[in-house]
C-alpha cells in the first residue's frame, strides 16, 4: 500500500521535488556546458569529447539497473531509499568539482575524461533512482503522481537554469563569456554544494514519512538474481512500448541540449547581455508546463498528451530554423531575430517538457501492471530501466551533436560573427533532419502506451482485492498467497 491516501500536502510535494535539483545541476552541466568547455576552452576534439561522454553513459546505464535492484532490496529501519540519499551525495559533490577543475588546468586524457564522467553519473544515479522510486510508493493516485513529477521537473529545471544563469552572469561574464576557463572552477564548486544540499535536504524532509522497516524483508542480493529480475521487469509489454518512445525522445533531448550553446553562439549570434534571456525563457516554459500538463492529462491522458506535445514541440521549435534555411528569417544578431527566436523557443520547449513529464509519469502505472502479473513490486527496477534508456539515448544524442559539429566543419577556435554561411546551413540542416525523425518516432510510440486512467484504476481495485485475499488466506490461482510465496520466495511485494 502507498504511504499516503488522498490529496498530497503541498509541503510534501515541495520537499520531494527539491531532491531533483541535483539532477538539474548535472543535466545543465553535462548537456549545456561540458562539451563546449572541453572542446572550445580546453581544446579537445568535439568528437572525442562526445565519444567519452557516450562511453560513460553506456557504462552507467548498465550499472543503473543494479543500483535499482539494490535499492529495492535495501532493508533498514529507515526504509529502502533513505540510506542511499544520505550517503551518495557527498562523494558526488567531490567528483563534480573534479570534473570542472582538471589537474593543471589542462584537458585530461581521453580515458581520464571517461573515468571521471563515469564516476559522476554512477553517483548521481545512486541519488536519483532511489529518490524517484519513492513516487509510486508515496501515492497510487493517477493525477497525484503527475503532480509529484511536475514538482520534480520544476525543481530539476530550476536547478539547471539557476546554474545556467549564474554561468552567464557570475561565473563566466565578460567579453570571453563561455570561453573563459576560470569561471568553470566556480561553476563546479557551487554546483557540487547545491547537489549535496538538495538530495540530503529532500531526504531529511521526507524522513518522517518513509523512515520505517519495509513491510517484507526481500531476499538477499545476488548478481544473477538482479539481472533475472531486471530481465523480467523489462519484458513487461507496457514498458517496452514506453521504452521505444522514450528512446527517441531522450536522443532528441540529448542532441538538442548539447547543441544549443553552439546554436545560440554561432547560428543566432546572441550577445552577452542576451544570453541571460535564454535561461529566463526556459524557466517561463517550465512554468507554462506546470500550468498546462495537468489539464492535458485530465482531458487526453498521459499517452495522447505525450504524442501531441512531441509533434507540437517539433512544429514550433524548428520553425525559426526552417525559415532561416529558406532565407525568410530576420538578419541574425538583430533584436528581431533574437526575440523571435526566444518566442518560438518558449512555446516549443513548453511542449517538449510536457512530453517528457508525461512519459516519465507513465512508469508509475507500469509498477502496478508488473505487480499484478508477478506479485512483486519493483519501482527502482523500472526507474533504473528508464535511466538506462535515458543515459544511452542522451549519450547517443551528445555523440550525434559531436558528429554534427564535425560534419559541419566548425573549427575549434570559431568566432561567432565570422562562421561561413555554408557551415551554419549544414549545422542547421543536420540538426533539423535528426529532430524530425526522432520526434515522429517519439510521438508514435508514446502515443501507443496502453495504460490509461481507467485501466490503472481498475488494476488498483483488483490489487486491493488481492491484498485483502492475502490477508484472509483467500486462494489465488489455486494456491493461497502464502503458499505461492513459500514456493517462490521472490514472488511477493517488497514494499
Residue 89 cell numbers, joined:
551525495
Structural domain boundaries in the chain: 12-208+220-451
Q: How is domain 12-208+220-451 classified at the CATH fold level?
A: Growth Hormone; Chain: A; (1.20.1250)
Looking at residue 241, its pLDDT comes to 95
Question: Which of 181, 175, 230 has its CA nearest to residue 384?
Answer: 230
Arithmetic mean of pLDDT, 376-393: 79
Contacts of 366 (CB under 8 A, 6+ apart): 236, 238, 239, 242, 382, 451
Q: 450-461 pLDDT, tens per residue?
A: 999 999 899 989
Q: What is the mean pLDDT of the chain?
A: 86
Looking at residue 41, its pLDDT comes to 86
Report the Cα 294 to chain-centroid distance in Å. 19
Alpha helical stretches, state H, 376-452: 379-408, 421-447
Looking at residue 483, its pLDDT comes to 35
User: 424-436 as b/e, with b when 16 or more CB fall inside 10 Å?
Assistant: bebbbebbbebbe
Looking at residue 153, its pLDDT comes to 85
Q: Is the pLDDT of residue 479 over 60?
A: no
Q: Is the pLDDT of residue 77 over 60?
A: yes
SS3 call for 80: coil
Between 82 and 143, whose confidence is greater? 82
Q: Is the pLDDT of residue 492 over 70?
A: no
User: Cα–Cα distances in Å, from 194 out to 19, 83, 130, 368?
Assistant: 10, 19, 18, 34
Residue 436 cell numbers, joined:
524530425
Task: Say what angle helices 142-166 and 277-317 make with each other, to 10 degrees.
Answer: 130
Looking at residue 175, its pLDDT comes to 59
Percentage of residues in the chain with pLDDT exceeding 90?
Answer: 45
Looking at residue 229, its pLDDT comes to 73
E strand intervals along 174-310: none
538538495: which residue's cell? 198
Question: Which of 21, 65, 52 has its CA nearest to residue 118?
Answer: 52
Looking at residue 441, its pLDDT comes to 97
Least confident range of 186-200, 465-479, 480-494 = 480-494
Q: 258-275 pLDDT, tens per residue?
A: 898 889 989 999 887 787
Amino acid at each position: 500500500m502507498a504511504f499516503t491516501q488522498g490529496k498530497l500536502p503541498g509541503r510534501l510535494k515541495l520537499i520531494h521535488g527539491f531532491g531533483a535539483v541535483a539532477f538539474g545541476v548535472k543535466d545543465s552541466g553535462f548537456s549545456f556546458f561540458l562539451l563546449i568547455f572541453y572542446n572550445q576552452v580546453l581544446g579537445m576534439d568535439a568528437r572525442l569529447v562526445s565519444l567519452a561522454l557516450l562511453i560513460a553513459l553506456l557504462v552507467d546505464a548498465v550499472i543503473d539497473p543494479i543500483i535499482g535492484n539494490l535499492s529495492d532490496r535495501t532493508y533498514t529501519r529507515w526504509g529502502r531509499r533513505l540510506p542511499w540519499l544520505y550517503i551518495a551525495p557527498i562523494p558526488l559533490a567531490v567528483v563534480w568539482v573534479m570534473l570542472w577543475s582538471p589537474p593543471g588546468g589542462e584537458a585530461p586524457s581521453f580515458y581520464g575524461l571517461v573515468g571521471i564522467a563515469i564516476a559522476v553519473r554512477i553517483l548521481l544515479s545512486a541519488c536519483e533512482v532511489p529518490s524517484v522510486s519513492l513516487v509510486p510508493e508515496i501515492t497510487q493516485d493517477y493525477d497525484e503522481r503527475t503532480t509529484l513529477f511536475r514538482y520534480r521537473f520544476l525543481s530539476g529545471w530550476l536547478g539547471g537554469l539557476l546554474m545556467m544563469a549564474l554561468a552567464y552572469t557570475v561565473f563566466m561574464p565578460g567579453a570571453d563569456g563561455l570561453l573563459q576557463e576560470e569561471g568553470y572552477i566556480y561553476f563546479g564548486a557551487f554546483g557540487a554544494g547545491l547537489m549535496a544540499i538538495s538530495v540530503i535536504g529532500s531526504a531529511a524532509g521526507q524522513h518522517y514519512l518513509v523512515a520505517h522497516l519495509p513491510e517484507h524483508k526481500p531476499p538477499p542480493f545476488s548478481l544473477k538474481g538482479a539481472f533475472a529480475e531486471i530481465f523480467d521487469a523489462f519484458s513487461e509489454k507496457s514498458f517496452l512500448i514506453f521504452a521505444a518512445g522514450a528512446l527517441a525522445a531522450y536522443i532528441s533531448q540529448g542532441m538538442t541540449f548539447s547543441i544549443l550553446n553552439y546554436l545560440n553562439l554561432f547560428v543566432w549570434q546572441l550577445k552577452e547581455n542576451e544570453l541571460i534571456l535564454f535561461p529566463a525563457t526556459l524557466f517561463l516554459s517550465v512554468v507554462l508546463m506546470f500550468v498546462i500538463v495537468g489539464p492535458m492529462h485530465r482531458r487526453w491522458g498521459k499517452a495522447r498528451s505525450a504524442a501531441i506535445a512531441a509533434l507540437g514541440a517539433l512544429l514550433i521549435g524548428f520553425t525559426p530554423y526552417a525559415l532561416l534555411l529558406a532565407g525568410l528569417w530576420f538578419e541574425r544578431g538583430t533584436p528581431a531575430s533574437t526575440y523571435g527566436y526566444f518566442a518560438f523557443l518558449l512555446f516549443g520547449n513548453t511542449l517538449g517538457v510536457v512530453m517528457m513529464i508525461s512519459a516519465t509519469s507513465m512508469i508509475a502505472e507500469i509498477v502496478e501492471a508488473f505487480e499484478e502479473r508477478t506479485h512483486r513490486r519493483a519501482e527502482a527496477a523500472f526507474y533504473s530501466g528508464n535511466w538506462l534508456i535515458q543515459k544511452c539515448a542522451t549519450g547517443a544524442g551528445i555523440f550525434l551533436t559531436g558528429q554534427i559539429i564535425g560534419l559541419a566543419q566548425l573549427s575549434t577556435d570559431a568566432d561567432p560573427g565570422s562562421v561561413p554561411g555554408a557551415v551554419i546551413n549544414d549545422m542547421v540542416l543536420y540538426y533539423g533532419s535528426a529532430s524530425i525523425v526522432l520526434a515522429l518516432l517519439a510521438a508514435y510510440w508514446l502515443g501507443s502506451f496502453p495504460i490509461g486512467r481507467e485501466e490503472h484504476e481498475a488494476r488498483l481495485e483488483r490489487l486491493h482485492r488481492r491484498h485483502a485475499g492475502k490477508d484472509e488466506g483467500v486462494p489465488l490461482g489455486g494456491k493461497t498467497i502464502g503458499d505461492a510465496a513459500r514456493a517462490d520466495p521472490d514472488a511477493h511485494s517488497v514494499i
